[in-house]
Amino acid sequence: MKKVALVTGSSRGIGRAVAARLARSGWAVGINYVTHRQAAEDLRDTLIGEGCQAAVYQADVADRAAVEQMVRAVEQDLGPVSLLVNNAGIAGQMLFQDITEEQWRRYFAVNLDGAFHTIQAVLPHMLHEKSGCIINTSSIWGQRGASCEVAYSATKAAVIGLTRSLAMELGPSHIRVNCVAPGVIDTDMLSVLPEETRRDLAEQTPLGRLGTPEDIAAAVAFLASEEASFLTGQVITPDGGFIV
């Protein structure tokens, strides 16, 4: 069966590194974006220039119809999705009492409903083939919680619950469902923090540095590989020991 991967939120940051790593490992990769079209197309062109197979798809994962249309387009262009990486997400810092209902709903719509929509869209083929791999992206804050990031942490804790429960349900169909929970990663989300805060976070990490998108991509590539064929329902935490 052809190796076809769909990576949501893959125009920048962790998703971009994941898409690139998978493409260079022999996967035909669907690169999903919401607003950063040029970045997505630049990645596609780079990968194609290297002899990889990649295509770009615009969709807000919170929009079920848009997700279903995207998956149909991937199937037509590249083939049925055999690996889904749910990476798209939003984050932000605010006091709990300042969170509006609209903001709360948006966090869940993207971070949790997005995974719900994409999984349901690709699952029929996986069930038919009795084969497939789903990798969800949580966070260390979904495992431990974070002050001033209650909405984000709640969605990421829910992603872990989704992963573990779905792994049990889909196991008999030989579909593996796992999760990565990144630590403090040096991406655009982190760049808004003051340099002093970034240094403090690196110092709080036992390995003494911030993580890179490539660190997470390596974990995803492992979970997607045959070497992880007996792993399902697991939460891998590439965080440099931050929450040990």
Give the number of domains in the chain: 1
d(CA 115, CA 136) in angstroms, rounded, equals: 7
Within a domain: 45: yes
Q: Amino acid identity of 175?
A: I
In a domain, 243, yes or no: no
152 as an active site residue: the answer is yes
Q: State how far the alpha carbon of 138 is from the alpha carbons of 1, 58, 106, 171, in Å.
A: 28, 22, 16, 20
The answer to whether 224 and 136 are in contact (CB under 8 A) is no
The verdict on residue 244 lying in a domain is no
Would you say residue 30 lies in a domain?
Answer: yes
Mean pLDDT per 10-residue interval, the chain, length 244 residues? 94 97 98 98 98 98 98 98 98 95 98 98 98 98 95 98 98 98 90 87 96 98 98 98 94
Q: Choosing from 33, 57, 107, 152, which is the catalytic residue?
A: 152
Q: Are 106 and 90 in contact (CB under 8 A)?
A: yes
- What does the pLDDT read at residue 194? 87
- DSSP state for residue 109 in the 8-state scheme: I
Whether 60 is covered by a domain: the verdict is yes
Task: Give the per-residue pLDDT at 1.
Answer: 67
Structural domain includes residue 28 = yes
Rounded Cα–Cα distance for residues 30 and 23 (Å)? 9
Residue 117 is assigned to a structural domain of this protein: yes
* Boundaries of domain holding 192: 4-236
242 in a domain, yes or no?
no
Which two three-digit tokens encode residue 177?
Answer: 């469902």
Q: What is the CATH number of the domain that holds 108?
A: 3.40.50.720
- pTM given for the model: 0.97
